[in-house]
Amino acid sequence: MFIEDSYYLEFPDRGYLEPRARYKAYYRDLHEHYEVPLDEKTFTQGGQYSYHTIGEPHLKYHYQKKGREVADQMILSYWAYEYDPEYATVGAYFLDKYSLPSNVLDVTDQGSLCSIMALKMIQVSQKSGQSARDLCLALDQTTIPCAAPETLPKPTKNISSSLMVSASQSDEKQIEIVDIHIWSEQHIIDMQCDVLGLMQAMLVSHHVSMDQCLFMCKRDTFIYRAMRLCEQQYRRDTQALAMHFMPLDMACSNIINWLHALNRQVWQTQYQYIVLIDEDVESLSLGCVLLHMPKVYTEVAVNTPMAYQDISCSKRRMV
């Protein structure tokens, strides 16, 4: 799999729109059913975005502005519910409005790892020959009506991010997605939290050593702490793992955002391989993506140290 193109948008919180009565009635009934008091102030907090609002610019970018061939398949991934939706399903809306001759699939109910699951589905589809070019669109918005005080995790930013992924390489500058793995919470427990062992097995299957890799993850996660805890088992006589820490955004679009930043060279590295790691915010489930970086990226980066604190994807309004 090769990244042909990417697009990223971040939207400000609004918090001034009044939702329709049907939207309020749904959440009132939901909270009443579970005997949880609803804080109605949360109706007007956060971004207040429907998914067609933040997702449609990506359709215009990929299918109209650039004039690319239509993808064989479009997969939408989202973790939280959208705000006061206008349409029953956003995928069907896109399919009808843009007359897409492609399959449109939704990936949800997979926690905050749904975008990694979407990429895994694309990998399986392309390997089987069912598709040659796929569009993955990840959606996050921050208005989630809930009880007070808030105790459940939710997206921290209003983001839409997309990747156009091809089964074949058309440009030597394209980043290759070598492999995608998702391990369930039970698998992590059965492996006694030996996450480095899981990653090493993945790398060995592609004849890649840990010394060739840069590991990229968020520093506030269980996965990072588990990696540090079991690092000595593999690194006693060698240098420490090469690691780079990602912005601490809570979002299902994290992996797509990070891939976009690498694709647009917002972040640069001299490592030939990169392992992107993210975990589900409500479980021990883990997802990772192994990348092979083209020479043009690594050669440029030799004298350009990575510094997400200066040029992070999360600070760019639109790229």
In this structure, are 55 and 195 located in the same domain?
A: no
Tally the domains of the chain.
Answer: 2
Spatial CA neighbour of 315 closest among 239, 235, 248, 241: 248
In this structure, are 128 and 240 located in the same domain?
A: no
Over the stretch 31-75, which tens digit does the pLDDT of each residue have?
999 998 999 899 998 999 999 999 999 998 887 766 556 788 899
292 part of a folded domain: yes
In this structure, are 149 and 190 located in the same domain?
A: no
Over the stretch 60-113, which tens digit does the pLDDT of each residue have?
888 776 655 678 889 999 998 899 998 888 888 888 888 776 788 888 888 899
CA distance 175 to 171: 9
Please tell me the predicted confidence (pLDDT) of residue 239. 62
> Which of 119, 135, 166 marks a domain boundary?
166
Cis peptide before 155 (omega within 30 of 0): no
Q: Is 218 exposed, middle or buried (0-12, 13-18, 19+ CB in 10 A)?
A: middle
Q: Which CATH number do you get for residue 208?
A: 3.40.47
In this structure, are 185 and 309 located in the same domain?
A: yes
171 part of a folded domain: no
Spatial CA neighbour of 152 closest among 281, 263, 273, 285: 281
In this structure, are 156 and 7 located in the same domain?
A: yes
In this structure, are 17 and 153 located in the same domain?
A: yes
pLDDT(302) > 50 = no
Q: Residue 315 phi/psi, 5° resolution?
A: -100, -5
Q: What is the mean pLDDT of residues 157-181?
A: 91
For residues 286 and 277, the answer to whether their CB atoms sit within 8 Å is: yes
Band (pLDDT 50/70/90 cuts) for residue 319 is very low
One-letter-per-residue 3-state SS of 225-278:
HHHHHHHHHHHCCCCCCCEEECCCCCCCCHHHHHHHHHHCCCCCCCCCEEEEEE
147 part of a folded domain: yes
| % of residues, the chain, pLDDT over 90 | 42
Band (pLDDT 50/70/90 cuts) for residue 305 is very low
For residues 191 and 36, the answer to whether their CB atoms sit within 8 Å is: no
Buried b (16+ CB within 10 A) or exposed e, 157-189: bbbbbbbbbbbeeeeeebbebbbbbbbeeeebe
Sheet with 158-166: strands ordered across = 103-107, 73-78, 133-140, 158-166, 2-11, 176-183, 286-292, 273-279, 213-217, 243-245
In this structure, are 123 and 262 located in the same domain?
A: no
In this structure, are 66 and 201 located in the same domain?
A: no
pLDDT(242) > 50 = yes
Q: Is 32 exposed, middle or buried (0-12, 13-18, 19+ CB in 10 A)?
A: exposed
Residues 6+ apart with CB under 8 A from 202: 179, 181, 288, 290
Q: Which two tokens stand for residue 119?
A: 């990429």
Please tell me the predicted confidence (pLDDT) of residue 196. 83
If one counts every other C-beta atom within 10 angstroms of the C-beta of residue 299, the result is 11
In this structure, are 144 and 180 located in the same domain?
A: no
In this structure, are 91 and 143 located in the same domain?
A: yes
For residues 171 and 9, the answer to whether their CB atoms sit within 8 Å is: no
For residues 22 and 117, the answer to whether their CB atoms sit within 8 Å is: no
> Which of 138, 166, 194 marks a domain boundary?
166
pLDDT(236) > 60 = no
For residues 125 and 90, the answer to whether their CB atoms sit within 8 Å is: no
65 part of a folded domain: yes
Q: Which CATH number do you get for residue 15?
A: 3.40.47.10
In this structure, are 190 and 114 located in the same domain?
A: no
In this structure, are 146 and 252 located in the same domain?
A: no
262 part of a folded domain: yes
> Which of 110, 142, 166 marks a domain boundary?
166
Q: Is 297 left (phi over 0), alpha (psi -120 to 50) or beta?
A: alpha
Please tell me the predicted confidence (pLDDT) of residue 315. 35
Please tell me the predicted confidence (pLDDT) of residue 67. 59
Range of the domain at 111: 2-166
Over the stretch 125-162, which tens digit does the pLDDT of each residue have?
999 988 888 999 999 999 999 987 777 888 999 999 99
Please tell me the predicted confidence (pLDDT) of residue 296. 59
pLDDT(114) > 70 = yes
